[in-house]
Copies of this chain bind each other. A is one copy, B any other.
Amino acid sequence: MNQIQVGSRLQYFVQSPTTLLLNISVAQNDHQSTSHESIEIEPFHKIEECAVGPLGNRLVRINALPGELTIQYQATVQLHADEVDSANVMESEYEDLPADALAYLNPSRYCESDKLFRFAGEEFGSLLPGYSRVTAICNWTFEHLTYTPGSTGPTTTACDVLLQRTGVCRDYAHVAISLCRAMGIPARYVSGYAVNLQPPDFHGFFEAYLGGRWYLFDATRLAPVGGFVRIGTGRDAADVAFATIRGDAQSTNLEVWADEQQADDHLLDPDNVQTAVSSV
């Protein structure tokens, strides 16, 4: 068990009454619990908290009045990521996939796996099935893309990125998810806080379903996988935007942090960017 202090401070200038939907609270499950969790709004606004879907995404909705607005979230997280011996992790046969995993084979807005069956088959079809094949997909993504802030936008898809060969964390995740799905491996997007991510920011990575369980992967290799604190889980980034704004408000500042408080193992070490771990 590792203990991590996470948080974020979002500042806006609200021009006219605006509803903000925030997905910045850490998810609660058997592998993640929080203590000292708080959300503060300055000036005071009533907030509504709601959970979405069976995956426990936690949303905060604020009807903001015009003026400056600061939202600060923080929590101390007890994280129990399970480290596994990846050599024994096999792919599940299609006929054995549980019903809940099937939807993560479907193409989604930013992961057009339905256009990439042959592409994926040619690049990864001859590899042995299993955890190592998803690693090969991550390696291919890491090697063929260049991490370039600003090179993509909110409507950029995996197919766009496969052609332009640049992107940021969400794009790396979308490419790897698409290639996994095209190979018949259920895959989904995860947003989170990440210990030792430089510069600190919200992070986007993914999970693949292998051998009856979801495993975390990050094709960017920017931070230790075992230190990922889950916020939201979805088909792709469309499902877990950290802030959705209806109205007229401009972001004026964003700070994010994720600091190791107590480490019982090596999972938070900066170099462990490819450890095999599961956190659901």
Which residues of A are interface residues toward B (Cβ below 8 A)? 19, 21, 50-54, 59, 61, 63, 94-95, 98-100, 102-103, 106-109, 111-112, 114-116, 118-119, 122, 144, 146, 154-155, 159, 162-166, 184, 235, 238-239, 246
Task: Report how far A100 CA is from B246 CA in the complex, Å.
Answer: 18
- Name which residue of chain B comes closest to A122, CB basis: B165
Whether A99 lies near B164 (C-beta < 8 A) is: no
Distance (whole angstroms) from the CB of A123 to the closest CB of chain B = 9
Q: State whether A118 touches B164 (Cβ < 8 A).
A: yes
A52: which of B51, B99, B111 is its contact (CB, 8 Å)?
B99
Q: Are B154 and A114 in contact (CB under 8 A)?
A: yes
Chain B residues contacting A54 (CB-CB under 8 Å) are 54
Task: Tell me the complex Cα distance, A267–B32, Å.
Answer: 51
Instruction: Give the interface SS of chain A, mostly helix, strand, loop or mixed.
Output: mixed
Q: Are A114 and B109 in contact (CB under 8 A)?
A: yes
19 contacts between A and B (CB under 8 A): A21-B102, A50-B98, A52-B99, A52-B100, A52-B102, A59-B99, A59-B102, A63-B95, A106-B109, A106-B238, A109-B112, A109-B114, A114-B154, A116-B163, A122-B144, A122-B165, A159-B163, A163-B163, A184-B246
How distant is the Cα of A133 from the Cα of B238 in the complex, in angstroms? 25
Residue of B nearest to A58 (CB): B99
**Are B238's CB and A99's CB within 8 A?**
no
CA distance A239 to B108 in the complex (A): 9
The answer to whether A53 touches B103 (Cβ under 8 A) is: yes
Is the beta-carbon distance between B102 and A165 smaller than 8 angstroms?
no
Looking at A53, A94, A109, the one whose CB has the most chain B CB atoms below 10 A away is A109
Q: If the complex has contacts A19-B94, A118-B164, A146-B118, are A51 and B99 also in contact, measured as CB distance less than 8 A?
A: yes
- Within the complex, what minimum Cβ distance (angstroms) separates A172 from chain B? 15
A163 touches B119 (CB 8 A): yes
Q: Which residues of B contact A100 (CB under 8 A)?
A: 52-53
Q: Is the pair A162, B163 in contact by a Cβ cutoff of 8 Å?
A: yes
Task: Find chain B residues with CB under 8 A from A107 CB.
Answer: 109, 238
Which B residues are in CB contact (< 8 Å) with A159?
163
Bound Cα distance A154, B107 (Å): 11
Report which of B94, B111, B118, B163 forms a contact with A165, defined as CB distance below 8 A: B118
B residues near A108, Cβ cutoff 8 Å: 108-109, 235, 238
A95 and B61 contacting across the interface, CB-CB below 8 Å: yes
Q: Give the complex CA separation of A177 and B206 in angstroms.
A: 27
Please name 20 further chain A to chain B contacts, defined as beta carbons within 8 Å, in addition to the given A50-B98, A114-B154, A118-B165, sorted by A numbering: A19-B94, A19-B95, A21-B102, A51-B99, A52-B100, A53-B100, A59-B99, A59-B102, A106-B109, A106-B238, A106-B239, A108-B108, A114-B238, A115-B163, A118-B146, A118-B164, A119-B163, A119-B164, A122-B165, A162-B163
